[in-house]
Amino acid sequence: MTTISLRGLTLGATAALAFSTAPVLALDLQFYFPVAVGGGAATTIQELTDAYMAAHPEVKIEPVYTGSYTDTIVKAMTAAKGGNPPQLAVIGAAEMFNLIGEDVIAPFDDYVSEADKAAWLGGFYPAFMENSQAFDKTWGIPFQRSTPVMYWNKDAFKAAGLDPEHAPATWDEMVEMAQKLTIRDTAGNVTQWGVRIPTAGFPYWLFQGVAIPNDGILASADGTQTAFNSPESVEAAEKLVALTGDQGVMEQGTLDWGATPKAFFEGNAAMIWTTTGNLTNITQNAPFPFGVGFLPAAKHYGAPTGGGNFYLFKDSTDAEKKASVDFVKWMTAPEQAAKWTIATGYVAPRAEDWETPALKEYAEQVPGALVARDQLQYAKAELTVYQNAQITQILNSALEAIMTGQTAPKAALDDAQAKADAILKAYR
């Protein structure tokens, strides 16, 4: 988990707070920030905060980095319950209902002008706002947001007699290509798998990349119900496990999330699914030309959104909240959003960001950067419910049982659904 402490922060009435008329105040703010993927995330946050301080000499920001999304939510909730919460944090967007249910965050709407509600809050891509808004309020501001995408090794495609510029458009086409891309030595041992979809680390997220195109929506919009064992979800699980079974195009067992880019670089897998937040990492480290494409369609295209939002913690003064909102507005402005996207591969979360000269030039140099943005028209919110960590762990355990052959897909998902119902019924 990453902590950014804003110590000795002094803001004047006109220097940084859009509508504060108070005299100069000394504010002590804390900002928690996770660094969860490859790329230049930590370095870029330092550069951005330095730039903010240069433009606001009355502000001191001290970044301190540790951990992951999970670490961040645990630390933030522990601090909030202990009476010493941060004023601001970047936490997984999927934790929105959990944070609302614990009554530890405040909506941004109360700290922006009416003009900003339309121009700023209204400017984010709708797919990202699906798990940023609820109950007619904006609880999270999209920042390091993503979707999973497919990466493919163009050299491996050429060697298999496939068009290196053509990604599989459908699930069936992916399987057909993966069969041609799977290479075995004379002893029958696989030296290159056709496809790798991580099934450990964040299995629920990439499972949604199979389910959503199959009309499998795993959670209700109000965060109180799941549909783990719907026919569409069960069919999605059957498709996933078949890759490692009769189709023989993906390594059996649970495949680690963090090791997936390395497996790609080393030629262990010709196609991989991972976050667009790994785009910069893959661009810098892949020893071969690669392509980036939508997740393959079933009934249609589809993908889950992912990543983190800025959240405003409730137990702070109005002056602290306004100072935090000012910082968030600056961090999500087009120039800063462009720098963040170029450094990390995360999707710049507003259409106007993509009109900046920096992102236009970047998109020309790295066309794959546009894939996740364009996929947003088909995207749905990732699994976002009350007691989110517990519910996602239930699904993750079911997927592990499925992928290791311990339990059949329907039985595992029936059991997961029953466990989720037992927890969520209290919120209906």
Query: What are the tens digits of pLDDT across the range 238-286?
Result: 999 999 999 999 999 999 999 999 999 999 999 999 999 899 899 999 9
- Rounded CA-CA distance 377/396 in Å is 27
List the one residue out of 96, 100, 73 whose CA is nearest residue 86: 73
pTM of the model: 0.89
According to the per-residue pLDDT averaged within each range, which of 3-7, 14-18, 33-37, 293-297 is highest? 293-297
Q: To 10 degrees, the CA torsion angle through 403, 409, 412, 417?
A: 120
Whether residue 392 is predicted with pLDDT greater than 90 in this model: the reply is yes
Q: Quick: pLDDT tens for 117-145.
A: 999 999 999 999 999 999 999 999 999 99
Q: Is the dihedral of CA 250, 252, 257, 263 positive or negative?
A: negative
Same fold for the pair 3-146+306-380 and 148-304+387-427 = yes
> What are the extents of the domains in the chain?
3-146+306-380, 148-304+387-427
The string of pLDDT tens digits covering residues 367-378 is: 999 999 999 999
The answer regarding whether domain 3-146+306-380 maps to CATH 3.40.50.720 reads no
Percent of residues, the chain, with pLDDT higher than 70 = 90
The predicted pLDDT at position 378 comes to: 98
Tell me, what's the pLDDT at 40? Answer: 63
> How far from 194 is each of 44, 122, 248, CA to CA, in Å?
34, 41, 9
Q: Rounded to whole angstroms, how far apart are CA atoms 294 and 273? A: 10
Rounded to the nearest integer, the mean pLDDT of the chain is: 90
Residue 9 has pLDDT above 80, yes or no: no
Contact (CB, 8 A) for 23 and 13: yes
Per-residue confidence (pLDDT) for residue 2, from 0 to 100: 39
148-304+387-427, which class in CATH?
alpha beta
Each residue's pLDDT tens digit, 311-359: 999 998 898 898 889 999 999 999 999 999 998 888 999 999 999 999 9
- pLDDT tens-digit readout, 190-221: 999 999 999 998 899 999 999 999 999 999 99
The answer to whether residue 17 scores a pLDDT higher than 70 is: no
